[in-house]
Amino acid sequence: MRDREEPLETTREAGAPAVELRGIDKRFGAVHASRDVSLAVAPGTIHGIVGENGAGKSTLMSILYGFYRADRGDIRIAGRTVEIAGSEDAIAAGIGMVHQHFMLVDTFTVVENVILGAEGGSLLASGTARARGELERLAREYALEVPPDARVGDLPVGLQQRVEILKALYRGADILILDEPTGTLMPQEADHLFRILRRLRAQGKTVILITHKLREIMAATDRVSVMRGGRMVAHRDTAATTVAELAELMVGRRVLLQVEKGPARPGPELLAVERLSVRDERGASRVRDVSFNVRAGEIVGIAGVAGNGQGELLEALAGLHPAAGGRILLAGEPVSSGGPHRRRRGLAHVPEDRRRMGLVLPFEARESAILGYHDDVRYRRAGLLDWDAVSRDTEAKMISFDVRPADPRRITAAFSGGNQQKLVLAREIERDPLVLLVGQPTRGVDIGAIEFIHRRLVAMRDAGKAILLVSSELDEIMGLSDRILVMFGGVVAGELPADRATERALGLLMAGAGPGAGAANEARRAS
Amino acid sequence: MESLTLLVLVLDSTLRLSAPLVLAALAGLFSERSGIIDIGLEGKMRGAAFAAAAVAAVSGSPWAGLAAGIGTSVLLAMVHGYACITHRGDQVVSGLALNILVSGLTAVLGIAWFAQGGRTPQLPGEARFLPLEWPGAAALRDVPVLGALYGELLSGHNLIVYLAFLAVPAVAWVLYRTRFGLRLRAVGENPESADTAGVPVVGQRYRALLCTGVACGVAGTYLSLAQSAGFINDMTAGKGYIALAALIFGKWRPVPAMLACLLFGFLDAVAIRLQGADLPVIGEVPVQLVQALPYVLTVVLLAGFIGRAVPPRALGVPYVKEG
Amino acid sequence: MSAVATGPAAGLPRWAVVGLLPVLNLLAAFAVSGLIVVLIGESPWDAVRILVWGAFGFEEAIGYTLFYATSFIFTGLAVAVAFHCGLFNIGGEGQAYIGGLGMALVCLHLDFLPFALIVPAAVIGAALFGAAWAFVPAWLQAHRGSHVVITTIMFNFIAASVMVYLLVNVMSRPGSMEPESRDFAPHARLPLMHDVLAAVGIDVAASPLNLSFLWALVCSAGVWLYIWHTRAGYRLRTAGASPPAARYGGISPPREIVVAMLVSGALAGCMSLNELMGVQHRLVLEFTAGFGFAGIAVALMGRGHPVGIILASVLFGALYQGGAELSFEVPRITRDMVVAIQGLVILFAGALEFMFVPVVRAVLARRSGG
């Protein structure tokens, strides 16, 4: 990279891959995150990398981008071995990366974000001027328009992502890595992103797309590599493979993509929501006049792009957010404000963010396992907390929900994501509640645990409980729900029975383009 | 006319009293905008004041004293950096530790070296920073209003006072118009994005602390070589904390922070004037009340009843490079 | 082998983190202190010898060491309780100061009460006033988000001004210019330990060690029970470890912040019992003498656990007592040296807590490897 001045073309060996990884090995303590991984990406292609959460995709890309250093192995860019010790080296080698969580400074403008780290001199004036020109050119070439002087924190997610891509291109990236780029995008925004990627490919750029969504792999890539347990297990031409084959390669066995469940037998209404409105701390309206119900023995799913009020709705139902208007009825009785009272009356809640809210990471598992139930007389003796009773109870829950290791004194943070989530579910479900609110039950959870969690939720439904499910995974919503509500701009934009819900129909509703779109858009504008 | 004279006198001492606050607040600005909490301004000022006085007493040169003051303050800032940046230690704990260490150390070393109960020897004029008379100030002295404004208020301060107030636009320019400033703000807001954009977070934060050390060193030197003629124990008397309060008050921006320093300096000047004075209607104002006023005001301001101060987002959070 | 799971010391055995690291940090602080002694031209070895002898060498010295330790236990517990709620209470100094005011008001104005009532009344006075001084910063942190570190610092300064005003203008001894109150009545004083022990037939040398030492031990046991074995302690720790999780669990973080700070302030306030009711027998200026700040060092050394805090308090008590002996024997090393050592202990045990982790890791790895 020392000879960055030379144009890359002259040094490129004919036919050499744009990126080649050879024998990359990386350990984090006891975790073997990359095991002898090799990969070749042809120039001018879109190359997908798929794998479960924890398969080692992100680690591999972090090594390529200089965030971690490999213990062993070589990185070759355009046929030349390079040493990548930090993101500076990666940038110099022509690699750009769009992270899953955007690496943007919210308080900076678009231009400031773009030039950060590539200011082109100790004064900002000239760099800023150059960046404006470049941004205009890139906008024309790749359909990447963004207002250059807007504060990035004020931009919608789709535009923030464009800023990330612009940052990479501004630095002269020939190779662009995108890590789970569609996680927070609406389907239409995702389509636009893929159009941009194809244009980049047409201009000779190389794109590496990391995702766990097989649909996207099939739609956007030329070639695909599959990772499992830190290993590279297969490379395929996209045209010559199928979703089923890729899924099998990912998990190492044949999986049922469809959740097995019988037809719902809905009973009496257990949760009713009447014209509920919620405002956030700043007074902005997040949920407006939402009404629906959940009956015994059914799962109602709420779909929507993150940030359209689902989170606030769930928290308001759980009593964590005061309602600005409307009523909530639990088994026919209106509930007053205050979370713990609802809990006592049979409402359980698996929060969207288990690490922040559902668990106390520095606590022992048994301490996390009584969160919200710490006032229970079962855990008390002579006025003090009876830790022996808590330990016994926690261990029983851990065994019943297959939490590994079933050690109630292990620190919560030391469990894997799936085991943490099972601990939360164990705590909430073992109480045998009437109504269960579940947010993102399988986010960051490995496939084995996903199956387990889905089975438990369906079993709960079949036991005559009411379940309200909020998830950003359309597959999950469609697989589990008996009825699906779509939220857009804080209102319910539409409702579909599960058997009539298609991805396209849901996608339109999620984008505010459904039949009720006029009202929803108006609501969004008014808020 | 008498009230004008009084006003000019109060404003004049306001400038003198707020100059070290301005420097210390700017020092804190570099640190905190880069994401490092600095409650150690007090200790750095105190260490610098002692070192400057000690070296000036031995060498007879205020410039050698200034160098020693800056050196000491930079050294302390680097220890803070070593603990908070390199070892990701708690920034409040580190700052507090250095404050306590310096308060013990200056006393121990002062007594061991000079045997004057912790003071450094009284400095002669040539070992200090003396007031600078502006051209024509003497001639204009008797001209009404203009004489007071030019001759008293503007002229007749020492070099460091002018330096302090000139530093404010300079720091603002650095912060908003240079690469250094952009990167400084970036590592204080979102170190991870700065890192992925190729900005070395650790280096940038150390450089920020270097600036903090230099500015705080000048502030401390001012106390013992300009405002007084030597170091006396506890001469900082909470000025470092007041400067920190002013920085927060000014929402971590150079010009508003300076205005806050001027306000606190003004209060201090008024308190000195009021000492023992019998005011009409109110009667005698307890000095302690006026002395406590900056602290009370800061609490009221921190309570957010007057605006909201949003700190740099990464302030106080050690940067750990992990996904 | 049980190993620490997370944090910078992840993977190290528990004994290394709880036992070895604090000792290494302490040694580092002492090593730098030794360098300072060398810098002023004295022998660090002699200094250590005099210091240890001065702290533990004779019966009276031990009494003094424990007397100082008593104050450290109170302020150390105060810092620790706030820590468990995720709060950094730097206001121990001011809370102890105002706590002394509350205690003195009881001893001066309720001295018609018999000894058996005035002692608990004084304890309540000290705790109540200490807690009250912590309340405003606590409330502002809980409900306005004002950073408690900054507000408690400000309240230390305000407390100093308030006390000067009161002692000069309101509470001063009639006919005296001294900024101090009149003496407490003889029955409004805490019995000294050697008097108590003599009454049961045990003879020890006279020292200012008084009954508040026992109260400090009771408070330590109380804090241990409270933090780890009550629902209130669970709420407090949850609010400290993760406010969103606390809210989810039906725990109100603002309420816990206020409670933690009140308990913290009350404990700090009790420090005045030892100093004023035990020894000075009147309210004087600046009797807190940095003990409030030192509580931070004690709590850090003791890792927030009452047993650790008692051990750390004895250590600091020994430094104070030994340091006094040292400044008597070697006048060039003043008692301010102890302040410097305190600063170094906070630096190494607090901010540089994990500095030796790579070293320890390497040594352990080599030992188990070869």
**CA–CA separation, A358 vs A134, rounded Å?**
45
Partner residue opposite C234 with nearest CB, options A356, A357, A374: A374
Helix axes C291-301, C59-84, angle to 10 degrees: 80
**CA–CA separation, A156 vs C114, rounded Å?**
72
Partner residue opposite A385 with nearest CB, options C5, C229, C249: C229
**CA–CA separation, A513 vs C338, rounded Å?**
72
* pLDDT surpassing 90 at residue B33: yes
pLDDT, chain B, mean: 88
Residue A518's pLDDT is 47
Judged by DSSP in three states, B104 sits in helix
* pLDDT surpassing 70 at residue C5: no
Give the containing element (helix H, strand E) for C255: helix C253-272
| pLDDT band, residue C348 (cuts 50/70/90) | very high
Q: Enter the ipTM.
A: 0.89
Residue A120's pLDDT is 86
Lowest mean pLDDT among B73-82, B123-132, C306-315: B123-132
Mean pLDDT of C41-50: 91
* pLDDT surpassing 90 at residue B279: no
| pLDDT band, residue B179 (cuts 50/70/90) | very high
Nearest CA in chain C to B307: C144
Residue C232 tokens read as 């209130």
The most confident of A30-44, A70-84, C79-93, by mean pLDDT: C79-93
**CA–CA separation, A182 vs B118, rounded Å?**
66
Mean pLDDT of A375-381: 91
Residue C171, phi then psi, degrees to nearest 5: -105, 5
Residue A123 C-alpha, separation from nearest chain B C-alpha, in angstroms: 4
pLDDT in tens, C121-149: 999 999 999 999 999 999 999 998 888 98
* pLDDT surpassing 50 at residue A527: no
Q: Which residues on C lie below 8 Å from A318 (Cβ)? A: 248
What's A239's DSSP letter?
A: G
Judged by DSSP in three states, B160 sits in helix
Partner residue opposite B87 with nearest CB, options C41, C154, C355: C355
**CA–CA separation, C345 vs B98, rounded Å?**
10
Share of chain C above pLDDT 70, in %: 98
Which chains are adjacent to chain C, needing at least 3 Cβ pairs under 8 Å? A, B
Mutate to test the interface with C, among A349, A371, A388 (most CBs of C within 10 A): A371
Q: Touching check for A374 and chain C: CB below 8 Å?
A: yes
What's A403's DSSP letter?
A: -
Q: Which residues on A lie below 8 Å from C11 (Cβ)? A: 29
Q: Touching check for A383 and chain C: CB below 8 Å?
A: yes
What's C137's DSSP letter?
A: H
**CA–CA separation, C33 vs C35, rounded Å?**
5
Nearest CA in chain B to A98: B196
Residue A384 C-alpha, separation from nearest chain C C-alpha, in angstroms: 5
Q: C250 and A357 in contact by Cβ < 8 A?
A: no
Of A114, A128, A109, nearest to A172 by C-alpha is: A114
> Which residue would you say has higher pLDDT here, A86 or A10?
A86
pLDDT in tens, A282-299: 777 889 999 999 999 999
Give the containing element (helix H, strand E) for A384: strand A384-385
Mutate to test the interface with C, among B302, B310, B322 (most CBs of C within 10 A): B302
Residue A341's pLDDT is 64
pLDDT in tens, A25-73: 988 766 788 889 999 999 999 999 988 766 788 888 889 998 888 899 9
CA distances from C304 to B178, C78, C232 (A): 45, 10, 17
Q: Touching check for A245 and chain B: CB below 8 Å?
A: no
Residue A525's pLDDT is 45
| β-pair partners for A27 | A32
What's the one-letter identity of residue A66?
G
Mean pLDDT of C227-236: 96
Lowest mean pLDDT among B8-12, B145-149, C175-179: B145-149
Q: C248 and A358 in contact by Cβ < 8 A?
A: yes
* pLDDT surpassing 90 at residue C71: yes
For the B2-129+139-302 domain, the top CATH level (class) is: mainly alpha
Superfamily of domain covering A256-346+435-441+466-527: P-loop containing nucleotide triphosphate hydrolases (3.40.50.300)
* CATH number, domain A8-249, options 3.40.50.300, 3.40.50.12280, 1.10.10.10, 3.40.50.2300: 3.40.50.300
Residue B115's pLDDT is 83
Q: pTM of the full predicted structure?
A: 0.84
| pLDDT band, residue C4 (cuts 50/70/90) | low
Q: A108 and B189 in contact by Cβ < 8 A?
A: yes
Which chains are adjacent to chain A, needing at least 3 Cβ pairs under 8 Å? B, C
Q: A122 and B179 in contact by Cβ < 8 A?
A: yes
Residue A53's pLDDT is 67
Domain boundaries, chain B: 2-129+139-302
Share of chain A above pLDDT 90, in %: 42
Q: Touching check for B203 and chain A: CB below 8 Å?
A: no
Of A433, A425, A482, nearest to A450 by C-alpha is: A425
Q: Touching check for C365 and chain A: CB below 8 Å?
A: no
* pLDDT surpassing 60 at residue C270: yes
Q: B197 and A87 in contact by Cβ < 8 A?
A: yes
pLDDT in tens, C182-222: 999 999 999 999 999 999 988 889 999 999 999 999 999 99
| pLDDT band, residue C257 (cuts 50/70/90) | very high
Residue A75's pLDDT is 92
Q: C238 and A371 in contact by Cβ < 8 A?
A: yes
| β-pair partners for A80 | A77
| pLDDT band, residue A523 (cuts 50/70/90) | very low
Nearest CA in chain A to B182: A116
Residue B298's pLDDT is 80
A221-224 LR contacts (CB < 8 Å, sep 24+):
A221/A46, A221/A47, A221/A48, A222/A42, A222/A45, A222/A46, A222/A47, A223/A41, A223/A42, A223/A45, A223/A47, A223/A48, A224/A47, A224/A48, A224/A49, A224/A50
pLDDT, chain A, mean: 85
Residue A30's pLDDT is 64
Domain boundaries, chain A: 8-249, 256-346+435-441+466-527, 353-432
What is chain B's Cα-based Rg?
Answer: 20
* pLDDT surpassing 60 at residue B224: yes
Mean pLDDT of C106-122: 94
> Which residue would you say has higher pLDDT here, A54 or C173?
C173
CA distances from B67 to B56, B206, B217 (A): 10, 20, 8
Residue A11's pLDDT is 44
Q: Touching check for B152 and chain A: CB below 8 Å?
A: no
* pLDDT surpassing 50 at residue B193: yes
**CA–CA separation, A317 vs A337, rounded Å?**
9
The most confident of A463-477, C247-261, C338-352, C354-368, by mean pLDDT: C247-261
Give the containing element (helix H, strand E) for A115: helix A110-115
Helix axes C291-301, C253-272, angle to 10 degrees: 120
* pLDDT surpassing 80 at residue A251: no
Residue B82 C-alpha, separation from nearest chain C C-alpha, in angstroms: 9
